[in-house]
Structure formats: C-alpha cells, structure tokens
Amino acid sequence: MRQPGNKTDFSPLAEALLRWFGDNRRDLPWRQTKDPYCVWVSEAMLQQTRVETALPYYHRFLERFPTLADLACSSEEEVLTAWQGLGYYSRARHLRQGVREVQQRFGGQLPASYEELRSLPGVGPHTAAAIASICFGRRRPALDGNALRVASRWWDLHQEVESPPARRFLHQHLQEAMPADRPGDFNQAVMELGATLCLPANPRCDLCPVASLCLARLRGTAAELPLRRVRLPPRPIEVVCAVIHRGDDCLLRKRSSKGLLAGMWEFPTEPVETETSPLQSLAVLLLSWGITGEISSPCKKLAATFTHLQWRMSIFLVSLPIGAGPSGSVWRWAALSELQALPMGRPHRRVAELLERALPGHPEDFQGFSP
C-alpha cells in the first residue's frame, strides 16, 4: 500500500485555492447568507443530491418555511410534502426534528460549536463542520464526498477514503491547511473544486489552481483516486401495489414511521410472497385488509430504484363499491385532485400521475403500462 506523501507547505495551497474561488465561485443562494438555518437547509438537501437538482427545492422550501421557527411549528406531513421528489426523506424528518430541538434546547438559535451542532438529529460531521465554519468562523474541515476526493489527491492517499484512518489523516491535513480567518470560504472552495474541476472521472488538472501542489498529479495517480469500497448493486425484489378506488377516490395507506419512505402516503405496496404470483399475493393482501373488490388484469409494470433496493412493481387496479373499504388511522380516501398535496414517494407519485390520466371514466387506459 502506498503511504501518504509528506506534508506540504499549506500557505501557498490555501492562498491559490481561495484566489481561484473568489474568481470562479458559482453564484449559489446559500452562499449569499450566513444565516445558519439557511445553510443547514442547503446542507441537508445537498446530501446525495446534485446542486442543480436541489436549487428549486431550496427556494420553494424557504418560501414555505422562511425561518427556523416556521419549520419547528410545522407538521411532518407539511415538511414531507415540501420535500417531495427530492428523495432520502429521512433528511426532511431529521431537519424538522432538529429545529424543534433547537427551539427547546437553544432558545431558537443554532449553537456555534461543532459538538453542540453534532448533537442535533441528522446533523452529521460534514453538516456540523459546514455550519460551524461558514456561519461561525470555526476551523473545522467539512468532509463531504467532494472534499474527500480532492484531499485524497492532494496528499496521494491510497487508502479506502471513507475508512476511519483515512478520514483522520485528511481531517488533520485539511485543518492545518485551513486559514484561521477564512475557514468557511476554505471549506466551500475545496467542495467547489471537487464539484467543478477535481471530478471523479477525468479530473481537469490543467485548470486546477493548486495542480503544482497536488501529489497525485505530480505522481500521475490522480485518476486512480480516491479509493472507495465496492458497493453492491441494489437488490431487486418483487412487490405488488394495489390501486384501490371507488370512482375517482383512491385508498391510501401511511407507511411506517421507520424504514423506506417512512411516513409517506402510498398506494398499498407489499413484497410478493415467495412462490406465489403477484395476483395471488394481492388476493391474500386484500383479504387481510378486509377488502373485497374487482381486480383488473393484466397489471402494469414499473421499476423503482433506491440506494440498496430495486422494486419490481406489479400494479393492479382494484374497484370497490361505494361505502366499502378499511378504516383506521393509517388509511384514508383521497380524491384524485388531492393527491398532489400529499407527501408520496417517487414510485407512488408516478402511479398517481398515471391515475390522473386513466380515472375517472377510463380505467381501461390503466392497462398494459410499462415504464
């Protein structure tokens, strides 16, 4: 295993990087404020999401919840609806839980210290470091995916980049490189370099402002780095989705408060039982829910991919007579016109869009759909 290179002179690195950042930084809305609440919202949205995707959500979210207090007094359903389509919904739930704790523990003001920020729900090391450095001037490296990639190349680190020893090494070197008077700008400059030039594939070393100080470039190893753990592809599972309707009213179920798409409304969806067909599984499920209805066949097919899982969905239309259906807090009837205002995961939002075209009056249009 190649060992990390010797520590370089950090002053030229920080100086060159910050000069480049001043001339080339993207005009992003969260860079126009030092409000820690706004920075927190942006960091939550940018976890596992590209800037271009997050931008419209950021504007809409702050229009709906302009202050920390507004978010703290909102319902979970309101927050999930505002987050709808952005994915990874635990980020939205944690953000709401976190601001409520800020109201209770810190009088509605986000704390300045990294340790207190880390104590909030959903605030990981990167988010806490970003808020502490950008909003409060604390010298703490923000190690997101871009920063890990950039720093692993600067110091030619041939270790699995997310391993504890590698993170400790990069944290120490970045903290030493970080100027005391501009820690927030330095963190943002490192992330900006990773997002625009120091790319995962085909890094633009010819345009890099610190290329002369990058050990991986000098040694010709930049394209090999960072080293990452091999991730398994999403595991496919067969699921059945029941679109149960009375006229143009649809039966929805609220998912569990934990796990995949937690707390979201859905057209009832369950894994297909082993060695049974989707239609047979649906018949058993309807019986367990106390539902007797007419199942349309054939079903529609849809694929939905999550981080570790892929649903292979068989979607059936089930017609109920007026007045029939289950009861309980996890069930609700909703007209087609109401679906857009309810928090639903992307797979079920796609089904809802199909229904808007097929119902009312033309349920036959629901047949034979494929992605």
Q: Which helix (H) or strand (E) holds 24?
A: helix 10-24
Q: 């988010």: which residue's tokens? A: 127
Query: Is residue 43 flagged as an active site residue?
Result: yes
Tell me the C-alpha distance between 363 and 319, whole Å: 10
Tell me the C-alpha distance between 45 and 82, whole Å: 12
For residue 360, cis peptide bond before it (omega within 30 degrees of 0): yes
Q: Are 146 and 189 in contact (CB under 8 A)?
A: no
310 strand-pairing partners? 236, 305
Catalytic member of 15, 43, 176, 356: 43
Tell me the C-alpha distance between 286 and 268, whole Å: 10
Instruction: Tell which residue, 71, 26, 33, has the closest CA to residue 50.
Output: 26
Phi-psi domain of 101 (left: phi exceeds 0; alpha: psi -120 through 50; beta: other):
alpha
Which alpha helices (DSSP H) does 84-204 contain, by range? 90-106, 114-118, 125-136, 145-154, 164-177, 183-196
How many CB atoms are located within 10 Å of the residue 162 CB?
14
Active site residues: 43
